[in-house]
Amino acid sequence: STTIGMKLPSKTLPFVFLSLLIIGISFLAGTYVGYENRAGILKVSGLINKETPVTAQESLVDFSPFWDTWNAINEKYVPATNGATSSPQASSQEATTGEVTAQDKVWGAIQGLVDSLGDPYSVFLPPEDSEVFEENIQGNFGGVGMEIGMRDDTLTVITPIKDTPAERAGIEAGDKILKIGDTITADISLEDAVRLIRGEIGTEVVFTIVREGRKGPFDVAVKRAIITIPTIDTELRKDGVFVIQLYNFSGQSPRLFRESLREFVLSGSNKLILDLRGNPGGFLEAAVEISSWFLPAGKIIVTEDFGPGKEDLDIIYRSRGYDVFNENLKMAILVDKGSASAAEIMAGALAEHKVAVLVGDKTFGKGSVQELIKITQDTSLKLTVAHWRTPEGTLISKDGITPLHMVKMTDEDREKKKDPQLDKAVALLLSQ
């Protein structure tokens, strides 16, 4: 299965990273040759990979400022006397000694190259970060129980997970995280944020948050715990509307959703609400499988768009055609700013194929695909390689999904245990 937003792993090394390996070798050469002989290095205007031709623009790249900076650091830099290091890639041992190795500077240079893309989801993972990331995708971690992402260059809560410390502490989808503990999150990477949030079970982490509709920043303390992620809940309401609440698109979601659909059919109702609010996504396979219960065979669910000039690489994912419901099905899908990735894919597909009406708030807009590329044995590159488009061509990462019926949920609604979004969906179905 493919995880929405991530492909694992790849043996492909793009030109630029092969070039960086060449730069790494040149670093050693520069170290031994010394400052006086650097003129030969400064004449390099570009690096050519024999297997991948460079563009005209790349062939004119002047690397002399890089080497000037490298040699200036070697010649003149003096670390802080208290032993602190300015290198975010340095190991804990180096941080205590104030020493930054040549290899640390290589990792920093690569990270700077990736940062120049301006994409919060593309990041270079040096050894320590790479190990943490692999633990995360395997689920071997504890934490506070929330999905985070970048929105307008700000660390943002996609959604708190149901029945986790984050939800119980009052964290909400859309909260902007200004600080994690004493660390300001401006310009922080997602991986660094995750590292700060993780910690020993039972310990506390404090978030400084800004929330829409609330004046000024405020602190929320959350106690770390082992996180168990729920998948699905069902309810047959007294008014005859059947509600399926899907919390994520995990590996077991298709099986559980199939059982929930059977429960819906046996209930005798023809009015279905699929609640995808706070659903951060998951596996592409799960999104395609679940969407296929509502669409004829061959209908487009989503297109994986690899960008201009790469149209021949685009992949179209189509319905498998289970399509067990007829026109008597009345369906609404609830979404909000915590609905992301696979949730947006399914909501967009069923809405654009006129199977369901969307109710709620605009979705998060996480529509990019990252590939994990091994750079060395213990380092990786998480790189955005494609974007998701709805059947009608909406770029999810740019626009998100906007419901036909926009209904906001206020703090007052939450305090009074009201749900105007669900109420609106119910009213629409009962009126048909």
CB neighbours (10 Å) of residue 43? Answer: 10
The catalytically annotated residue of 94, 172, 352, 371 is 352
Determine the Cα–Cα distance for residues 63 and 22; give it in Å rounded to an integer: 13
Q: Which residue has the tokens 């209904």?
A: 407
Is there a contact between 89 and 111 (Cβ–Cβ < 8 Å)?
yes
Determine the distance from the C-alpha atom of residue 395 to the mean position of all C-alpha atoms in its chain, rounded to a whole number: 15
Written in H, E and C, the secondary structure of the chain is CCECCEEEEECCCCHHHHHHHHHHHHHHHHHHHCHHHCHHHHCCCCCCCCCCCCCHHHHCCCCHHHHHHHHHHHHHCCCCCCCCCCCCCCCHHHHHHCCCCHHHHHHHHHHHHHHCCCCCCCEEECHHHHHHHHHHHHCCCEECCEEEEEECCEEEEEEECCCCHHHHHCCCCCCEEEEECCEECCCCCHHHHHHHHCCCCCCEEEEEEECCCCCCCEEEEEECEECCCCCEEEEECCCCCEEEEECCECCCHHHHHHHHHHHHHHHCCCEEEEECCCCCCEEHHHHHHHHCCCCCCCCEEEEEECCCCCHHHCEEEECCCCCCCCCCCEEEEEECCCCCCHHHHHHHHHHHCCCCEEEECCCCCCCEEEEEEEEECCEEEEEEEEEEECCCCCEHHHHCCCCCEECCCCHHHHHCCCCHHHHHHHHHHHCC
Neighbours of 377 (CB within 10 A): 7
Examine the residue annotation and report whether 366 is marked as an active-site residue of this protein. yes
CB 362 within 8 A of CB 273: no
Which one of the listed residues 341, 368, 380, 397 is annotated catalytic?
A: 341
Contact 176, 154 (CB under 8 A): yes
C-alpha neighbours within 13 Å on the C-beta side of residue 217: 11
**Residues with a known catalytic role:** 341, 352, 366
